[in-house]
Structure 1
């Protein structure tokens, strides 16, 4: 194949129609063994309650039948409550508007991503002269249609349109997606928008055409539906009261065990619940650096208890703080279950908590703080959805986080659409995808957070926003090549293109969450205990696994 044929094949990449994904045996095993039985609890309870009441058998039930009726009646009442909550979050989003200038800069940054003509594996860290290599300094120029950078851009941008062929996307649908992504508002027609918004959309679409090396056709293609995350209908699947009660009981037991076994304290600071363990006699100026662990989506303590306890056991001299996030932990009775903190409130509250604990100095303006009076700061460890809060802290209070560990981060390359598409819109075909979708993605609190409170600009973290990103003793990244939620290979490519090599732990066979177990967990704990200039354990795995 000659060069011209190779370029033509590459240029057609964004035009390929992806074959339908077929469901495997594991999907049906999970469907019939877990999903359907749990789903049937609610309708079965309604049928049983109606039957007992209509036939009058309620007065003749034995004590076992009465218990069963009481449980079914609880499910009926709870299903009404759950339906009302689902209806409530189905309304418009409540995100505050961002400044147009900030969003325009962010979108320009998205268009610059991947423009630099960098080697596939990034720069050699030892010989790299520039402290901030890569895209930020690149000019957005008109690329040839078959330029690999244009092809790559078209191929990942079409993810926001359900991965349809690029040529099928017309300007009306592109404007609708742009208006959502910039203004978080529904789009009707260009002429109906304020003049400033019209100018902004025309400027951005002109840059998209230059970056993609193509001209977007005028008019509309009704067959194409852009993914408008915070405007599209919220996808919620009911689950029984027994499920939430079970999660609450498990978390209650684990809390009591942590208090009794590890002398932990559970507190609340300005609406932020947390777990705190401080070793006896620890001094904030001479003791080991505190660790803040931001957990991800799931079941709260019931899901992360094993890892947290392992932290207590393996780094006993380090204070550990675990902020709790009830809105993504299926804690349906918590007052903040459907009212998650926004990025500014969360960052400000967490910063205030760290300052109160004496772990890091909180100041809105860092220059008002005397250098000799600043504590050492904290090591922040985040997993998956927890990397959003991690990113907010680095954006607003970078001096308070002196070391960063990202495990399965979802803050990189989020502008490419894989995260939202895979987690919300993609059709499940495997058992693991169905578990993630049903037990996490379609849960009421999680759906509310992701589909009504998602701010892609706030949740996107860029290389230049990470302090000491290329210092493996201060920043490390753990990725799994078979991650079903994020495209870990593209995240790896983004990081290595900016010179991150020694601090990257990449397991080609790793799945989402697997780094929290086994060898990945050991590497994380080794890194937490390291204080030198290098991170050999991370470098070793990155070399053998890449």
Structure 2
């Protein structure tokens, strides 16, 4: 690779990743949880085949017959699971994005970090600029050793498996760019239509200017770009008993919520939800409604304690929890492999909020005309909702802020994965990073739990690897209403998050002037701010209950 000078020793973009090792907790999780669960399927097949071939099936006692029936059910289910895995292994079904929209997104990515913004943030009370660091910087040609260029190279190489930046050649860069822009496979530059060739060349030239380097021609076969929606789907089988346990657990959690907290379960245009409206609540004078978007895992079973605490702590607030079966391991749900896209999800949720009378779903042009005419009394219309999102739920949160920002008057992001998604850490950590043996850096049991019990589950893999739109899922500072008002916007980050790069997210937010609205725990893990009795959860409820209804 051509560079402006010799590669400096401190060039982070040229450093090899430190090797990693498995600690004791990794092996505890592996032998106590992962292997026993994984082995159910092959053991079931072995028992069924042995019993049938030996003829002992006809001499089994009733306990033996029960075991045989269970093993047979597991064998049949594994065939069904295999067929579903083959189904999602096919091409993605994402609609093509508009080229102009993607070009704008790439421009934002390239401009991010160009402004000379202090990483420790601004003084919010003294800052006169409404949006410091907005994407208004010119994409200039940086020197190779410019810290902004080094940081950009070190970040972008994540999409190439974190290989040294000098190992990335133009063929691999074009392969990644073509996927990023067109969500399609790249073969050769000559085989592309002229308009596609021009688009790739322009973006690649901007990357070279931003990185302070010249990307060499040719190919480096040892480098494999991460093509999330095109790469093979990473799925590990689950036994039928696992999914039945999830269903049974959700059934009893539902009954408990209905019995103890008088919630209702409903469906609106294909969107399942949990709803609690306190008796006598008024949409004009009552407390602002709360909407909670949960993350990946086991749905309401996983979030039962948090939901119970939320219902108990905010008894006068209406609460809505949209359910997402495609990331909750509900394999028997009709929408398990058919998640709502960003437009459908945002539009359906907006319609539900409007139907409940919590927020007014208006056409933007119509709203502008009414404001110009001075029509409408603010006290006579719904005040919007407080939206709370955790982890993967921040994607839906972002979709709502992009499409219907007036409906969300307060926002709380807990372990958000929607910020800095263009940097690749989320996809790399959650999908591509291997739990391999080595030395120096420990691989803990929690990483294995996340990888096996969540990341490689069929529905989760389908959503992340066949329905992931990096542009739609990326939320920018400029798209957040009132981002520096700590009463209206709150962020919770954990410095030891194994999924998102919380340090990068913190840097991005603070450089744009967000300080009082940011809760950062240097030792916090993913989800720790939601644990009962934790400092993060106490801070969350303090913020939640400080809402001034008329603010």
Question: TM-score if structure 1 supplies the norm length?
Answer: 0.95
* Partner of residue 440, structure 2: none
Distance in 2, matches of 1:367 and 1:70, equals 64
Shift of 1:532: 5.3
Structure 1 position 434 matched with structure 2 position 448: yes
* Partner of residue 56, structure 2: 57
* Partner of residue 395, structure 1: 402
Deviations 1:36-93, CA, capped at 9 Å, x for gaps: 0000000000000111111111111111111111110110010000000000000000
Structure 1 position 8 matched with structure 2 position 8: yes
Which secondary structure does the structure 1 equivalent of 2:302 belong to?
Answer: helix
Which secondary structure does the structure 1 equivalent of 2:44 belong to?
Answer: helix
* Partner of residue 536, structure 2: 520
Q: 1:102-501, aligned counterparts within 5 Å?
A: 102-365=101-364, 366-367=367-368, 370-372=375-377, 373-428=380-435, 429-501=443-515
Count of aligned pairs between the two proteins: 529
Distance in 2, matches of 1:367 and 1:240, equals 54
Shift of 1:9: 3.6
* Partner of residue 439, structure 2: none
* Partner of residue 542, structure 1: none
Q: Is the 8 A contact 1:114 1:135 kept in 2?
A: no
* Partner of residue 73, structure 2: 74
Distance in 1, matches of 2:78 and 2:17, equals 39
Deviations 1:442-487, CA, capped at 9 Å, x for gaps: 0000000000000000000000100000000000000000000011
Distance in 1, matches of 2:175 and 2:404, equals 34
Q: Is the 8 A contact 2:134 2:478 kept in 1?
A: no
Distance in 2, matches of 1:455 and 1:33, equals 36
For structure 1, the residue ranges without an aligned partner over 5 or more in a row are 534-546
Distance in 2, matches of 1:375 and 1:285, equals 6
- Which region of structure 1 is more displaced relative to structure 2, 406-415 or 123-132? 123-132
Q: 1:35-46, aligned counterparts within 5 Å?
A: 35-46=34-45
Shift of 1:120: 2.4
Distance in 2, matches of 1:324 and 1:305, equals 13
Shift of 1:522: 1.4
- Which region of structure 1 is more displaced relative to structure 2, 516-525 or 211-220? 516-525
Shift of 1:135: 4.3
- Which region of structure 1 is more displaced relative to structure 2, 368-377 or 151-160? 368-377
- Which region of structure 1 is more displaced relative to structure 2, 101-110 or 423-432? 423-432
Shift of 1:364: 2.8
* Partner of residue 522, structure 2: 508
Q: Is the 8 A contact 2:284 2:381 kept in 1?
A: no
Shift of 1:168: 0.5
Which secondary structure does the structure 2 equivalent of 1:301 belong to?
Answer: coil
What is the root-mean-square deviation of aligned Cα atoms in Å? 1.5
Q: Is the 8 A contact 2:277 2:318 kept in 1?
A: yes
For structure 2, the residue ranges without an aligned partner over 5 or more in a row are 436-442
Distance in 1, matches of 2:221 and 2:195, equals 26
Distance in 1, matches of 2:399 and 2:186, equals 29
Deviations 1:319-357, CA, capped at 9 Å, x for gaps: 000000000000000000000000000000000000000
Distance in 2, matches of 1:393 and 1:194, equals 35
Distance in 2, matches of 1:211 and 1:302, equals 46
Which secondary structure does the structure 2 equivalent of 1:137 belong to?
Answer: coil
- Which region of structure 1 is more displaced relative to structure 2, 218-227 or 119-128? 119-128
Deviations 1:97-127, CA, capped at 9 Å, x for gaps: 0100000000000000000011221222122
Distance in 2, matches of 1:168 and 1:385, equals 32
Q: Which has the higher contact order (CA 8 A, sep 6+)?
A: 2
Q: Is the 8 A contact 1:125 1:500 kept in 2?
A: yes
Distance in 2, matches of 1:96 and 1:6, equals 44
Q: 1:11-26, aligned counterparts within 5 Å?
A: 12-26=11-25
Shift of 1:7: 9.9
Which secondary structure does the structure 1 equivalent of 2:213 belong to?
Answer: coil
Shift of 1:19: 2.2
* Partner of residue 539, structure 1: none
Going from structure 1 to structure 2, the CA distance change for 1:409 and 1:371 (only over 3 Å counts) comes to: farther
Going from structure 1 to structure 2, the CA distance change for 1:7 and 1:281 (only over 3 Å counts) comes to: farther
Q: Is the 8 A contact 1:123 1:499 kept in 2?
A: yes
Q: Which of 531, 534, 537 is matched with 2:547 structurally?
A: 531
Shift of 1:195: 1.0
Deviations 1:289-310, CA, capped at 9 Å, x for gaps: 0000000000001100110011
Q: Is the 8 A contact 1:115 1:135 kept in 2?
A: no
Shift of 1:368: 5.6
Which secondary structure does the structure 2 equivalent of 1:146 belong to?
Answer: coil
Going from structure 1 to structure 2, the CA distance change for 1:274 and 1:532 (only over 3 Å counts) comes to: closer
